[in-house]
Chains A and B, each alone.
Chain A
Amino acid sequence: MAETAIALPAAPAPARPRVLLVGTALSATAAFMAIVGLVGIYLSARADVVSTGAAWLPEGSNIPLTPANMAIATMLLSAVSMWWAVDAVSRNDRQMAYLALALTMFFGIAVINATSFLYTQMDLAVKTTPGVLIYTITGAHLAMIVVGLVYAAVMTFRTLGGEYQGRDHEGLTAAALFWYVTIAAQAVIWLAIYVTK
C-alpha cells in the first residue's frame, strides 16, 4: 500500500489585533460621553428654570420640530447607507461601495444643512442660557458628523486602494462604528432638545 501523506488543514492565521476598531470604539465612547454630558447640563439647567414657573426659551424664540425630524430621519437613513458601504467593501464591490459612501456623505451634509436651517429659524441669542447650551450641543454634534464623514471617506479609499482586503475591512467597520455612535448622539439630542425643548 502506497504511503499516503496525511494532509492536515492549515492552521488558521493568528487573529489580527483589531487595534483600529478598539481605538475607534473607545474614541466614539468618549465623544458620546461629551455629548451626553452636555445634554445632562441642558436638562438640569432647563429643569431649574421650569421649576420656578418661568419659560425655558426666551420670548420670541422657537425650535421648530420639522427640520429636527428631517435631520433624525436622514441620519437613520445614513445608517443603512453606511451598512451598505461596509457590505460592498467586504464583497470588493468598488462601484457599490463608492455609491453607498457618496449617499452617506450626502445624508451627512443634509443633516448639517437641516441643522443650520434650524439655527436661522430659532431666533435664539447665543448669550442666553438656552442659546449657549443649544448651540454648543448641536455644534459639537455637527463636528462629530464632519469627523465621521472624513473618517468614513478616508477608510473607504484606503480599503479600495488595497490597504485592507475584502475579508479584512477593519478600517471601514471602525468608521461605520463611529458613524453609528454619531447617529445615537443625534437621537439623544433630538429627544432632549428638539422634542422636549
Chain B
Amino acid sequence: MAVIDTPPETVHAASESATVIPRAQPTGLAGVLGSGDHKVLGRLFIITSLLFGLAVVALGQGFAVEGLAPKTLDVFSADTVFQFFTFFRVATVFLLALPLVIGVAFVVVPLQVGAPALAFPRAAAASFWGWLLGSGLLIASYAMNGGPGGGSTKGVNLWIAALALVVGAIVLAAVSLATTVFALRTPGLTLDRAPLFAWSVLVASIMWLVTLPVLFGLLVLMYVDHRHGGTSFGANAGLYSRLLWVFRNPQIYTVAIPVLGFAADVLATTARTRIAPRFAAQGAIGAFGIVGFGSFFVAATPDSGAYDAAIVMVIGLAAVLPVLAIGGLAGDLFRRGSFRLTAGALYAVSSVLILLLGVAAGALGSLPRLDTAGTVFDLGVTNGVVLASIIASLGAVHWWATKIGRQPANESIGRLAPLVLLLGSAAVVIPDLISGLAGDGAETRLDWTGGIQGLNVIVVVGAALVGLGLLAAMVSLLPILKAGTDVEADPWEGQTLEWLAPSPPPLANFVAPLPVVMSAEPLLDLREEK
C-alpha cells in the first residue's frame, strides 16, 4: 500500500460520509504504531518533541553556564564543544520547535476545517516515524563523534543523512497539512473563512515546502561530496556554516508563522468577539510567511557578504510589520471584547511579545552598519523567534487540551508557565543582542565564550527560567493524559468548528454531519442567534 492510500482504520474517516461508523480501532501498541489517526500522530509528535526539548533546554543551560567563565569553567571540553553547539542549534529547530508545531497542527487543523481526517494519513504517519528515526540517527551520529567538527568520517556522513531524513519527514508532514487545508475543508468553509490557526499552518506549510527541499538538496550535495572525500561544501566544521541560513533570519521566521494564527484565534475567542478586519489578519500572516523565504541564501557563506545586501535589510524591516499588525488587531480585540484571563491568552500574548522582540532584533541586525553578522546577536534573534514558537505551541496544547488529550489542562499552573517563559526568554535573548551590538561573542568559533561575560549571568538565569517554564507547562498538561468524565466539547465558548467535536474527538472527529458553514465564526453565529 502506498503512502497516498488511506490506512484501514481511517478509511471511513477519510471518505465523504463521515457518519459511517468505523470498524473497531486497534488498541494498545498496535493502535499507536500502526495508526494513521491524526490525533494519535499529533500526540506522538508533541510528546517526543517535548522530551527532546528537555534535553535541548539542559544543553542550552550548559552553554549559558560555560559562558560565565569560558577559560576556567569547562562544561564542555574543547574537543566537543562545537559538536554540542551544533547539536543544540539543530535540535532546537528540528527536534523541538518544528515537530511541536506540526504535532499541534496535526491534531487541530483537521478539526478546525471540519475534516474527518488528515489528507494522506499514511504519509503523515510516515512523516512521524521518519522524523523519529532521523532524530535518533542524528543523536547517534554525535555519539559516534560525528556531526560538524566531528572526528569520525562515518559519523559526519551519518549526521548529514540523518538531518536529510528529518527534513524530508517534515516536508512530508507539510504536504499532508497543506493538502488538508486546501482540499478537505467542509462545505462553505472557503479559504477566507478558514480559522486563522489553520490559515497560518497553511502558510507555514507552503513556506516549508518551498524552502526545506532546498535544504534537503544541499544536504544531499554535502553527503555526496563528503562521502567521496571532497571538501567543496565544507570539511567537518565547515559543513555547519553552509547551513547557517536555516537558523537565522529570514528563514527562521517560517518556524514562527503559526504563532500569529494561534494568537489571533485564541485572543478573539478569549475576548468573545470577532477579529476585524479579518483580511488584515490573514494578510499579515501571509506576509510574514513571504518575508520568511530565506532559501535564496543557500549558496551564501558567512564571508560572502550576502547578508549585507539591501534586500536583507528590506526583508528584516518588513518582517516587523505583520507582527505589529497582529499585535494591533489583538489590542483592538481587547478594546471591543469582554476579555477573560485564560492561560491560552497569556501564552498568546507572551509568544507575540517574544516574537516581536525577535523580529525587531532581526530588523536591527539587518542594518549592515551595525555589523552584527557572525556574533551572538544572530543567536539572540534565532532564540527569540524559536522560543516564541515553542511558547505558542505549548499554549496551543493547553488551549486545545480537550481535543489533544482527554480533559482540560490545569489552568492555574497554566497561567504561571507563560509568564515564567516570557521572563526567561527575554533574559536569554536580550543579553545576546546587547553583546552582539557591542561586537562581542563570535557565534561559530570552535569554542564557546557566549557574549559579554557580565551579561552571561543573566543568560544563565534566563535559561533556568525557560527550563522552569517548560517544566511548569508540562506539569499543567499532565491532567490531559488521564481519562475524564463529561468533558465539555467547548470549554472556551469557541468560534470555530473544532469546538463542535466531542472532547476527546472520536475517530472521524464529528458525530454528525456538519452544516454548511456561512461565516468565519460559525459557533459565534449560533450563539448570537439564540
Tell me the A residues contacting B by CB distance below 8 Å: 14, 16-20, 22-23, 26-27, 29-31, 33-38, 40-41, 43-45, 126-129, 132-133, 135-136, 139-140, 154
**Cα distance, A79 to B157, chains bound together (Å):** 38
**Cα distance, A135 to B230, chains bound together (Å):** 13
* Per-position binary interface string of chain B over residues 93-121, scored 1 when its CB falls under 8 Å from any chain A CB and 0 otherwise: 00000000000000000000000000110
* Per-position binary interface string of chain B over residues 227-269, scored 1 when its CB falls under 8 Å from any chain A CB and 0 otherwise: 0111011000000000000000000000000000000000000
Question: Which of A14, A34, A35, A44 has the most C-beta atoms of chain B within 10 angstroms of its own C-beta?
Answer: A34
Smallest CB–CB gap between A100 and chain B, Å?
22
**Cα distance, A38 to B209, chains bound together (Å):** 15
Residue in A23, A29, A43, A140 whose CB lies within 8 Å of B210: A29
User: How many residues of B are in contact with the other chain, CB < 8 A?
Assistant: 40
Where chain A touches its partner, the secondary structure class is helix
- Enumerate 15 A-B pairs (CB-CB under 8 Å) in ascending A order: A16-B16, A18-B183, A22-B178, A22-B182, A23-B175, A23-B183, A26-B206, A37-B214, A37-B215, A37-B298, A41-B299, A45-B299, A132-B228, A136-B220, A136-B224
**Cα distance, A22 to B178, chains bound together (Å):** 9
Q: Given the known A-B contacts A41-B299, A129-B232, A132-B232, are A31 and B213 also in contact in the complex, defined by CB atoms under 8 Å?
A: yes
B475 beta carbon closer than 8 Å to chain A: no
Question: Which of A16, A30, A31, A133 has the most C-beta atoms of chain B within 10 angstroms of its own C-beta?
Answer: A30
Smallest CB–CB gap between A142 and chain B, Å?
13
Given A129-B230, A132-B221: 16 more A-B contacts, CB < 8 Å: A14-B187, A16-B16, A19-B119, A19-B179, A22-B182, A23-B4, A23-B123, A23-B179, A33-B213, A33-B214, A34-B214, A35-B217, A37-B218, A38-B221, A139-B224, A140-B217
Question: Quick check: A126 and B224 within 8 Å, CB to CB?
Answer: yes
B351 beta carbon closer than 8 Å to chain A: no
Question: Which of A35, A126, A154 has the most C-beta atoms of chain B within 10 angstroms of its own C-beta?
Answer: A126
Question: Which of A20, A26, A129, A140 has the most C-beta atoms of chain B within 10 angstroms of its own C-beta?
Answer: A26
Contacts of B296 in A (CB 8 A): 40
**Cα distance, A35 to B123, chains bound together (Å):** 22
**Cα distance, A37 to B214, chains bound together (Å):** 5
Residue in B171, B176, B224, B225 whose CB lies within 8 Å of A30: B171
**Cα distance, A35 to B298, chains bound together (Å):** 12
**Cα distance, A16 to B187, chains bound together (Å):** 11
**Cα distance, A72 to B132, chains bound together (Å):** 39
Q: Given the known A-B contacts A44-B299, A132-B225, are A140 and B220 also in contact in the complex, defined by CB atoms under 8 Å?
A: yes
Tell me the B residues contacting A by CB distance below 8 Å: 2, 4, 16, 119-120, 123, 171, 174-176, 178-179, 182-184, 187, 206, 209-218, 220-221, 224-225, 228-230, 232-233, 295-296, 298-299
**Cα distance, A31 to B210, chains bound together (Å):** 9
**Cα distance, A17 to B113, chains bound together (Å):** 13
Residue in B224, B225, B229, B295 whose CB lies within 8 Å of A37: B295
Question: Quick check: B224 and A132 within 8 Å, CB to CB?
Answer: yes
Q: Given the known A-B contacts A29-B209, A33-B211, A41-B299, are A127 and B229 also in contact in the complex, defined by CB atoms under 8 Å?
A: yes
Question: Quick check: A126 and B221 within 8 Å, CB to CB?
Answer: no
**Chain B residue at minimal CB-CB distance from A143:** B220
**Cα distance, A27 to B215, chains bound together (Å):** 15
Contacts of A36 in B (CB 8 A): 214
Question: Quick check: A135 and B217 within 8 Å, CB to CB?
Answer: no
Question: Quick check: B214 and A19 within 8 Å, CB to CB?
Answer: no
**Cα distance, A44 to B221, chains bound together (Å):** 14
**Chain A residue at minimal CB-CB distance from B115:** A17
Contacts of A136 in B (CB 8 A): 217, 220-221, 224
Contacts of A129 in B (CB 8 A): 230, 232
Question: Quick check: B217 and A34 within 8 Å, CB to CB?
Answer: yes
Smallest CB–CB gap between A177 and chain B, Å?
14
- For the complex of A and B, 3 pairs with smallest distance between CB atoms: A37-B214, A44-B299, A34-B213
Question: Quick check: B209 and A26 within 8 Å, CB to CB?
Answer: yes
Question: Quick check: B120 and A40 within 8 Å, CB to CB?
Answer: no
Contacts of B232 in A (CB 8 A): 45, 128-129, 132-133
**Cα distance, A132 to B224, chains bound together (Å):** 7
Contacts of A44 in B (CB 8 A): 299
Question: Quick check: B217 and A38 within 8 Å, CB to CB?
Answer: yes
**Cα distance, A135 to B224, chains bound together (Å):** 9
**Cα distance, A65 to B209, chains bound together (Å):** 33
Q: Given the known A-B contacts A26-B209, A34-B214, A41-B218, are A17 and B184 also in contact in the complex, defined by CB atoms under 8 Å?
A: yes
Contacts of B295 in A (CB 8 A): 33, 37
**Cα distance, A19 to B215, chains bound together (Å):** 26
Question: Quick check: A30 and B182 within 8 Å, CB to CB?
Answer: no
**Cα distance, A16 to B298, chains bound together (Å):** 39
Contacts of A20 in B (CB 8 A): 4
**Cα distance, A136 to B2, chains bound together (Å):** 27
Question: Quick check: B299 and A19 within 8 Å, CB to CB?
Answer: no
**Chain A residue at minimal CB-CB distance from B4:** A20
Smallest CB–CB gap between A115 and chain B, Å?
16
**Cα distance, A17 to B189, chains bound together (Å):** 13
**Cα distance, A32 to B411, chains bound together (Å):** 46
Question: Quick check: B183 and A19 within 8 Å, CB to CB?
Answer: yes
Smallest CB–CB gap between A156 and chain B, Å?
14
**Chain B residue at minimal CB-CB distance from A29:** B209
Residue in B120, B225, B230 whose CB lies within 8 Å of A23: B120
Smallest CB–CB gap between A33 and chain B, Å?
4
Question: Which of A14, A22, A35, A127 has the most C-beta atoms of chain B within 10 angstroms of its own C-beta?
Answer: A22
Q: Given the known A-B contacts A132-B232, A140-B217, A140-B220, are A30 and B210 also in contact in the complex, defined by CB atoms under 8 Å?
A: yes
Question: Quick check: B210 and A33 within 8 Å, CB to CB?
Answer: yes
